[in-house]
Structure 1
Amino acid sequence: MTDHGEIDAASLDDEGHDGAAACSVEIIADASKGLDVCGDLFRREPIRSTPVTTSLYPGRASALLRVSAGSVTVGVAAEEAEAYTLTPLGPGAAAALADVLPIDRPSTLLGAAGDVADVAGRWTERCDGAVDTGPLFRWYRLGEAPETRKHKGALRAAGTASIDRAARWMVEFGVDVGLPVSVDAARTRVTDAIHEGRLFEWVIGDEVVSQAIISPARFGVVRINGVYTPPPLRKDGHSSAITAAVATQQVARQKVDDVVIDQPASTAVTNRMYRRLGFASAWNTLAVRLVP
């Protein structure tokens, strides 16, 4: 590491890899700075950068790895709980990231399948480690007005009385999709979302039957995440109802150009539901586990 907090990654030409020019990796520990300094990439790729941009909250500490070639941002990785979420990676970015990722502990990569494979492949060459393939996620972009089929119930913003139940459901959602969330992290996330008006419930009478969280709008994009209905309440259209209602609400906002949502590719019923609601498949991301 240099005196300026940058880690140099040399060109891979002589090793027969991607042949890209040298890149540098800068560690950014402030979310506001990250959104600003990496804004050139985020504006070029606002939709596919959503998994990273929607994880950054001004005023909250962050761990962001910015890969640059000169003054141009060619890739970003957001670190949280020993996991790294990737934006699209430009020339040389995969090698630069692979050369600075930890080799003394396991970690998780999540990003476009090709980028994840490139980073993981280079990383294994550094440490003779192994790669365990995890779930594939399909990302959808709202292409038209959501289906407005009539469903019993109503949408409402969650209040503080819902924190315990919402956190428990977020933990259960993480188990369902193969990306576990700790109880403490879930409680922090839902508390913030409730205070910021970003956690919604579908209610029938006085009973909450489904929930969904939206991200802050980042570069014109809002992400719907954590759509969850408990198993005993499924098959009655609650997840479909809340997704359609929240999407309709968000596309009406002045600062929102696109609404995206993701789901494990293995859940055929939910993937069909999103397509029926007017979402179109946009790209895939892959989770892998790096094991030294």
Structure 2
Amino acid sequence: MSWTTTHDLDTFTDAAGLFLRAEPAPHTILLTATTALGAAGLDRFGDGAPEFGWWRAPGGQVAGAYLHTPPHPVLLGRMPATAAAELAELRAAGGSPTPGVNAGRAAAEAFAGAWTARTGTAGTVEERHRLYRLGELVPPDPAPPGHARPGTGDDGDLLVEWTRQFSAEAGTGAGDPARAVADRLAYGGATLWEDGGRPVSYAGITRTVAGMARVAPVYTPPPLRRRGYGAAVTAAVSSAARAAGVRDVLLFTDLANPTSNALYQRLGYEPVEDHLVISFGD
């Protein structure tokens, strides 16, 4: 049982790609993030060089993988608790910068426990997320006024501002908002809901990988909320993904927000698993 690390995306993909694609839902962030790195550049999520790794079980098969794009938390895929704990110990022993961990609950807790045991630094749960998969889509009825349309380059400035506002509210970041929006528009991954000739809500979607795509982000400016726009644009982008042949249409919710969790379930999204983001203090 051992970890192998690299800064080379192709090496990582060759070693761990089949493992990740065999279960695209629990590996959604790893798959979409590495695909974005390959398409938009290795600095897509920050200036630091990404680090990749994979873990082999006693039989030699890959049974775990991770990605670290500084300054973000270390992102773990599905893996045995022993692999997560071993990775934490290796990073602590090597002095690798590790601001936190983002993973399914079991792997996150195993990593954090080993990190605390090795370094004496306790972890703090910053975010609790739930991963959902679309079952049978149930569009909102009645739908709000307006219609969905694809985002275009003319929407760039607005989407950059909305991306900044979304990140500020959610306490998350995915690198430079302008670059994130430009990347999303480049592959047609932005949908707007328009009412009365003006955009009122926005839903993004990742590139499709292994028959899977993830809806993110979904944003409606505060003055325009509680009118059904967010549900409508989510249903629109979900329907378009299904029509394009996407098998697993996914999204994450913040468990601290019961409104969004109830909303997406009404649209036909079903729980898959819970994730934690745990930070480590200085």
Q: Given the alignment of the two structures, is residue 124 of structure 1 paired with residue 99 of structure 2, yes or no?
A: no
**Which residue of 2 is the match for residue 54 of structure 1?**
32
Query: Which residues of 2 match residues 1-292 of structure 1 at below 5 A?
Result: 22-30=1-9, 32-57=10-35, 58-59=38-39, 60-61=41-42, 62-69=50-57, 71-82=60-71, 83-90=73-80, 92-101=82-91, 103=95, 105=97, 107-149=99-141, 150-181=143-174, 185-254=176-245, 256-292=246-282
Contact 1:171 1:181 in 2 (8 A): no
Structure 2: any 5+ residue segments left out of the alignment? Answer: 43-49
Work out the percentage of aligned pairs sharing the same amino acid. Answer: 26
**Which residue of 1 is the match for residue 47 of structure 2?**
none
Pairwise CA distance, 1:25? 2.5
As a proportion of its length, which structure holds more helix? 2
AA partner of residue 145 (structure 2): K
Contact 1:137 1:264 in 2 (8 A): yes
* Structure 1, 108-117 or 33-42: larger mean CA deviation: 33-42
Distance 2:131 2:52 in 1: 22
Contact 1:199 1:214 in 2 (8 A): yes
Residues 214-242 of structure 1, C-alpha deviations (whole Å, 9 max, x = no match): 11111111100110001111000010000
Pairwise CA distance, 1:160? 1.5
Structure 1's consecutive aligned runs of 4 or more residues displaced over 3 angstroms after TM superposition are 32-36, 102-106
Specify the SS of the correspondent of 1:266. Answer: coil
Contact 2:191 2:203 in 1 (8 A): yes
Distance 1:231 1:273 in 2: 17
Distance 1:56 1:106 in 2: 19
Contact 2:56 2:62 in 1 (8 A): yes
Specify the SS of the correspondent of 1:245. Answer: helix
Contact 1:131 1:290 in 2 (8 A): yes
Contact 2:213 2:248 in 1 (8 A): yes
Distance 1:265 1:152 in 2: 29
Distance 1:67 1:168 in 2: 39
Q: TM-score, normalised by structure 2?
A: 0.88
* Structure 1, 210-219 or 104-113: larger mean CA deviation: 104-113
Contact 1:146 1:247 in 2 (8 A): no
Specify the SS of the correspondent of 1:140. Answer: strand
Distance 1:56 1:181 in 2: 13
Q: TM-score, normalised by structure 1?
A: 0.85
Distance 1:216 1:106 in 2: 28
Distance 1:231 1:101 in 2: 41
Pairwise CA distance, 1:106? 5.3
Residues 119-177 of structure 1, C-alpha deviations (whole Å, 9 max, x = no match): 01111222211211111001111011232523311111111222222122112212222
Contact 1:139 1:283 in 2 (8 A): yes
Contact 1:151 1:241 in 2 (8 A): yes
Distance 1:104 1:140 in 2: 32
Contact 2:89 2:115 in 1 (8 A): yes
As a proportion of its length, which structure holds more strand? 1
Pairwise CA distance, 1:93? 1.4
Aligned CA distance change for structure 1 residues 109 and 219 (closer, same or farther; 3 Å)? same
Contact 1:130 1:290 in 2 (8 A): yes
AA partner of residue 166 (structure 2): F
* Structure 1, 40-49 or 91-100: larger mean CA deviation: 91-100
